[in-house]
Amino acid sequence: MEKTVAFQKNARNVFFHILTRCNLRCKHCYVNPKQHGTQTLPTETIRDWLNLLAHPHKKTNLIFIGGEPTLHPDLSSLAESARKMGYASITVDTNGFFFNDILKRATPDTVDYFSVGLDGACSQVNDYIRGEGSYNTCVAGIEQALEKGFNLSVIYTVSQWNIDDLKHMPRLLKALGIQRLFIQVAGIRGRLATNKKEQGQITRKRWAATVPQLAARAAGMGIHTTYPKVFLNKKEPFECAGRVAENYFVFPNGRIYQCPLCEDFPLHSYDMGRNALVPRPPINEKDLFDLSIPEGCVMNKLIQPGNIDYDKHGKPKYKIACCLLKEELNPSNQSGLDTAGGSK
């Protein structure tokens, strides 16, 4: 069954970057230390912020992100704390190195999913993007996590460097025993925004010719597959998640965004205060959410206008969807963590 995942108005998703440090230097990494800070948050600070972000009456999904979150020595106890605070689901986005004995210290009762970044079905492709030796280490980590009973999903970030290898991923996931695949798209932010020599983005034509068909094949093999909508035809309505959903992207320097595309700029909606989220004065990302343009996403128009083609009359041929709008292909016909996970 295929469906477009609507934004969940009664659900909250907290993407918590507990540090920005990482052992890898992935070509598509979106973390921007100048904007997000370089510190590793103290454990008590994280617990305080988790308390502020928890909601007693709304289902809240928590995703620990970095950098590489397993580099934080207290990640397992933080997951336990979050569970006691009432978070509905807890996911750890990781590169699969599983530092600090996290697989021994955490349990499937406290971590619902490890969502592992793997950008190739072989070492040649993956290691070009993520670094030498990362494929073998990641696959070994996946196997260890599965042996210990953890639920795993894989995040595959599509770029010019690996789109041709995407077709091999369903077979690899089946061999490993992984039943969830999140396909992401490389955007011009973070490292890709500053690397003028290598631009990894793919064209609309290549995306349309590759990703939906691969997702359908993966679902046909029993793999729950989710991928970003990315492009809308002119008749499809555009809706911004910032208007209707509660997504919070939290960084170590206290910035809280609601739109991932805004993260390279000081446009965040909130600062983390001592006892509450402190709204930022205008102009911030919320002012952009209310704008309506023929191209769809305002931030896409501002920072990556090359994604849009225009006809001879100067009108866009299509729209860019909100980056949080997903297509979901679920062979079991059961809903999952619709908008959580898969951001790394």
Mean pLDDT computed over every residue of the chain: 91
Please identify which residue in the block is written with the tokens 């800070």.
Answer: 37
**Residue 337 lies inside a defined structural domain of this protein:** no
Please tell me which of 105-114, 190-199, 305-314 the model is most confident about, judged by mean pLDDT. 105-114
Query: Minimal CA–CA distance to 113: which of 317, 273, 336?
Result: 336
**Residue 309 lies inside a defined structural domain of this protein:** no
Query: Minimal CA–CA distance to 242: which of 190, 295, 297?
Result: 297
**Residue 304 lies inside a defined structural domain of this protein:** no
Pairwise pLDDT comparison (337 vs 117), residue with the higher score? 117
Rounded distance, CA 21 to CA 15, Å? 16
N residues, the chain? 344
Q: Using an 8 Å Cβ cutoff, are 341 and 93 in contact?
A: yes
**Residue 90 lies inside a defined structural domain of this protein:** yes
Total domains in the chain come to: 1
Tally Cβ neighbours within 10 Å of residue 128: 16
Tally Cβ neighbours within 10 Å of residue 143: 13
Token couple for 170:
């369903």
Query: Minimal CA–CA distance to 7: which of 245, 309, 260, 293?
Result: 245
Quote the domain boundaries for residue 187: 2-291+323-329
Rounded distance, CA 224 to CA 113, Å? 14
Instruction: Name the pTM for this structure.
Output: 0.92
Rounded distance, CA 232 to CA 146, Å? 37
Q: What is the pLDDT of residues 25-72, one digit of tens each?
A: 999 999 998 899 899 999 999 999 999 999 888 889 999 999 999 999
**Residue 341 lies inside a defined structural domain of this protein:** no
**Residue 87 lies inside a defined structural domain of this protein:** yes
Question: What CATH number is attached to the domain comprising 21?
Answer: 3.20.20.70
**Residue 152 lies inside a defined structural domain of this protein:** yes
Rounded distance, CA 227 to CA 324, Å? 10
**Residue 318 lies inside a defined structural domain of this protein:** no
User: ω into residue 283 within 30 of 0, thus cis?
Assistant: yes
Please identify which residue in the block is written with the tokens 């006892």.
Answer: 275
Token couple for 85:
């605070």
Please identify which residue in the block is written with the tokens 């009108």.
Answer: 315
